[in-house]
Copies of this chain bind each other. A is one copy, B any other.
Amino acid sequence: MSNWILQYKDWDTEEHPLREALCTLGNGYFATRGAMEELKANDFNYPGTYLAGGYNRATSKIEGKEIVNEDLANLPNWLFLTFKIKNGKWLNLEDAEILEYLINLNLKEGLLERKVKFRDKENNETTLISRRIVSMHDHHVMGIEWTIIPENWEGEITVRSALDGNVKNKGVERYNDLNNDHLDILDNGKFDDNDIYLLSQTKQSKILIAQTSQLNVYQNNEKVNAKIKVGNDDKMIWHDAKFTCSKLQSVRIEKIAALFTSKDNAISDPLNEAQQKLSEIDNFYDIYLKHKIAWGQLWNHSNFKLETEDNSVLILRLHIFHLYQTLSKNSIEYDIGIPSRGWHGEAYRGHIFWDELYIFPFLNLHMPHLARALLMYRYRRLPRARYAALKNNCRGAMYPWQSGSNGREESQKIHLNPKSGRWIPDYSNIQRHINAAIPFNVWLYYQSTHDKDFLASYGAEIIFNTALFWLSMSEYNPKKDRYEIRGVMGPDEYHTHYPDSDNPGFNNNAYTNFMAVWTIRCALDLFTILDEKTLSELTQKVGYTNKDVEKWKILIKKMYIPFDSNGIIMQFEGFDKLKDFNWKKYTKKYGNTLRLDRILEKENDSPNNYKACKQADVLMLFYLFSSEELQKIFKDLGYEFDPKEIPNNIDYYQKITSHGSSLSRVIFSWVYARSNRELSLNNFNEALMSDVKDVQGGTTAEGIHLGAMAGTIDIIQRCYTGLEMRDDILWLNPRLPEEFKQLQMHIRFRSHWIILRITQKKLYLQFERGWANPVTISVNGQKREFASNDSAEFDLK
């Protein structure tokens, strides 16, 4: 059971912000932080309750420059729950003496339990047990149950429960100069003493948010007719329940709340619906029971069983759990993208990046409906991306590097180096490679689901548009007799421009050029997959011509990829001419060299001058593609690429990577999986700990790293199993780390549910009863067709 419970036993105020992020509850519709919140009645300014897609755009100026837009708005705080004994002060744990403390985050049931025994200044000893859920069954519903045990006192107590609109976005300290006030409170009041409401609206996006809440008191499992008094001010509404406690007799408080917004479907208006919903709920147990069933169904197919000697499986489950806090069946119906920090904190302001590249593989193989919904998020922003391309003198679609609600580019143009206190230019928006990540996600979704209707109706349009964008980005260089892509950045954000140039970007970033070729190949493949009518409609919609198709065919043969003289793929043209970096010196001086960019900028130097990477662009290729695929694409490009060169490339970049991105360890774990199982496992374990141990020192408290979390799951799911989908075949080629005795998991492939059980020596697979067409699976090269109910065992070499 302990593999299902994230537990903390000590009261560690230092660690509270981190714990709050890690104990965030959500259901794909909204998320609630504040593990501590009910107990800090004196500071409600950081509830961290976010509405998925609760956008708010706030342009702020710093040093005269337009700096960022925010796309994340706090919800009014529904967690406010406190009590006082007689005429004492409202509960405040920070002033109390903590006698016992326990947090259990139950991943299996999506339940956050906390038990605290404390002594206040009046020497009253109280035990408080809190259980909290954000319903996975009905995403409009949430509840808190408190059990209060007066250990050494008795008499009147007052419980105050509130909906509090005094919320600000203050979760990330360095954003404090930005506008952090995103809510207007329009109205609050009561339906009756027991039912209160608060109606608010985000300031710019004008999303209406209606919250309602109810307070019930139970003694001896009987509802107590407590005296309830409602009070309010402009921004807050509360009700106080007064009743009498006896020593050592526990009393139970239930706070039940409902939430609707104007973005909901099937509603009349949010407030009416929130009122109605509240009237339909019986009690906390009722919510809990349905919530537990919903979680049971979720875990049914999402669970990983992993026999190891450490607690890897707990962390893996925590990662899956947090994916489902941000995205779930509840988010399918909403226009929601994948924010890189989940809904767990305000860092990156709720913006959407390319992190979904790391998240789709898990969703494709477990919740394809959800993957499809997320691709639709991108599809809806295709017109905006086409407009961006047009304004950039390109054709097709140019997706932005950072985006928010309406899909326009939201990347900051300057950013703060906290180490130097300086604002420096930020060129990250020229990371055009997101325009390969998105079609890649489309393609992988299609490979795992065979959803041709989606491909024909939506996916192909994305692929053609991005392929056309890459075409217009490609310039012919007669000297090389090759095509080039100039002025872009790769994923490695340490490198923003050439040392001797003021222009941002590089020429021929290997990753970008390769992915452009991949995107174009994918577009060309569509001609053999789709029918003429669909294709002719797409031609009209996207605007490519026969001439473009001819040029695509040339580009996949003539794109330039930079190599050095030893056959190592260069991150970009001229990378080999950069200075070597003195890793020893800096590691000695700064200990942790993860954020080299900040360190060097403070010294008036820059990573741009060195062969030093935040994460290794080039290795992304070995992460995304099998050696078979790489070889094929390079061969068509006219480059001799021997897969035997892969280890040399890894070795080259391993030495110069600082792992400044949470994603870097995932990549290294992956690329070592075949050549060096120990190094792979080490990197896997590092990646696994990155949020739980907050390895970047403080960033997790600002929001977990969803890409890295999903990446660790995917290392188990695809990397160690050698799972690959290509040419309509599911390839398996497992190689578990020696420390793993056994792995068992479900995957969904083309509407089949398949159970995989893998040991060091055997692979066992079982198709559940289903109704999809037979599929082909190849285990270590042994190809077989499988249908519903089939099973097989394979010996592994």
Q: Is the CB of B57 within 8 A of A268?
A: yes
* Interface-facing stretch out of A157-165, A231-239, A470-478, A529-537: A529-537
A280-B387, A387-B280, A529-B771 are contacts. A406–B335 as well, Cβ < 8 Å? no
Bound-state CA distance A223–B788 (Å) is 67
Q: Which residues of B contact A126 (CB under 8 A)?
A: none
Partner of A266 from the list B293, B333, B405 (CB cut-off 8 Å) is B405
Contacts of A60 in B (CB 8 A): none
For the complex, give the distance between the alpha carbons of A567 and B444 in Å: 60
Interface string of A385-429 (1 = CB under 8 A from B): 001000000000000000011110000000000000000000000
Q: Which of A146-154, A202-210, A250-258 contacts B (4 or more CB under 8 A)?
A: A202-210
Question: Least Cβ distance of A421 to chain B in Å?
Answer: 32
Could you tell me if B533 and A772 are in contact, using CB atoms closer than 8 angstroms?
no
Q: Is A751 an interface residue (CB 8 A)?
A: yes
Q: Is there a chain B Cβ closer than 8 Å to A131's Cβ?
A: no
Instruction: Report Cα–Cα, A272/B69, bound state, in Å.
Output: 15
Q: Give the residue name and chain of the B residue nearest to A202 (CB).
A: B269
Least CB distance from A385 to B in Å reads: 11
Q: Is the CB of A530 within 8 A of B771?
A: yes
A540 and B768 CA atoms in complex are apart in Å by: 19
Query: Using Cβ atoms and an 8 Å threshold, which residues of chain B touch A753?
Result: 531, 533
Tell whether A55 is near chain B: CB-to-CB under 8 Å.
Answer: yes
Q: Is A770 an interface residue (CB 8 A)?
A: yes
Contacting residues of chain A (258-286) with chain B, CB-CB under 8 angstroms: 262-263, 265-270, 272-273, 280
* A701 nearest CB across to chain B (Å): 28
Q: In the complex, how many angstroms separate the beta carbon of A446 from the nearest chain B beta carbon?
A: 11
Nearest Cβ distance between residue A366 and chain B, in whole angstroms? 13
Please judge, given known A-B contacts A265-B335, A266-B384, A335-B266, whether A297 and B406 are in contact too, CB under 8 Å. Answer: no
Q: A457 touching B369 by the CB < 8 A rule?
A: yes
Chain B residue at smallest Cβ distance from A788: B531
Contact A270 B206 (CB under 8 A): yes
Contact A771 B452 (CB under 8 A): yes
Chain B residues with CB under 8 Å of A301's CB are: 533
> Is the beta-carbon distance between A206 and B380 smaller than 8 angstroms?
no
A693 within 8 A of B: no
Q: Distance (Å) between the CB of A409 and the closest chain B CB?
A: 13
Q: How far is the CB of A135 from chain B (nearest CB, A)?
A: 12
Residues of B within 8 A of A537 (CB): 297, 300
Q: Is residue A757 contacting chain B, with contact meaning CB distance below 8 A?
A: no
Q: A773 on the interface (CB 8 Å rule)?
A: yes
Closest to A452 in B: B771
Chain B residues, Cβ within 8 Å of A15:
none
Q: How far is the CA of A537 from the CA of B368 in the complex (A)?
A: 17
- Is A769 in contact with chain B by the CB < 8 A criterion? yes
Interface size class of A (residues with CB under 8 A): 35 or more
Q: Which of B207, B262, B453 contacts A751 (CB 8 A)?
A: B453
Chain B residues with CB under 8 Å of A453's CB are 368-369, 751
Contact of A381 with B by CB under 8 A: yes
Residues 512-538 of A at the B interface (beta carbon under 8 Å)? 529-533, 537
Specify which chain B residues have a CB less than 8 angstroms from the CB of A297 in the assembled complex: 537, 540
Q: Contact check, A333 vs B380: say whether CB atoms are below 8 A apart.
A: yes
CB pair A772–B333 under 8 Å, yes or no, is: no
Please indicate the chain B residues that have their CB under 8 angstroms from the CB of A769 in the complex.
531-532
A293 to chain B: closest residue by CB: B540
Nearest Cβ in chain B — how far from A635, in angstroms? 28
- Chain B residues with Cβ below 8 Å from A533 are 300-301, 753, 768
Q: Mark A741-773, 1 if CB is under 8 A from B, else 0.
A: 000000000010100000000000000111111
A206 touches B266 (CB 8 A): no
How distant is A324 from chain B, measured CB to nearest CB, in Å? 16
Docked Cα-Cα span, A768 to B273, in Å, equals 47
Closest-by-CB residue of B relative to A336 is B265
A369 to B55 Cα, complex, angstroms: 29
In angstroms, how far is the closest chain B Cβ from the Cβ of A674? 34
Whole-angstrom distance from the CB of A533 to the nearest CB of chain B?
A: 6
Closest B residue, CB atoms, query A770:
B531
Q: For chain A residues 411-467, which have a beta carbon within 8 Å of chain B?
A: 452-453, 457
The answer to whether B55 touches A407 (Cβ under 8 A) is no
A residues whose Cβ falls under 8 Å from a Cβ of B: 55, 57, 138, 204-208, 262-263, 265-270, 272-273, 280, 293, 297, 300-301, 333, 335, 368-369, 377, 380-381, 383-384, 387, 404-407, 452-453, 457, 529-533, 537, 540, 751, 753, 768-773, 788
24 contacting pairs across A/B (C-beta < 8 A):
A57-B269, A205-B267, A205-B269, A206-B262, A206-B269, A262-B262, A263-B263, A265-B335, A265-B380, A266-B335, A266-B405, A266-B406, A268-B404, A268-B405, A272-B406, A273-B406, A297-B537, A301-B533, A369-B457, A453-B751, A530-B771, A531-B770, A531-B788, A533-B753
A-B pairs with lowest CB-CB distance, top 5 = A265-B335, A266-B380, A268-B406, A531-B769, A531-B770
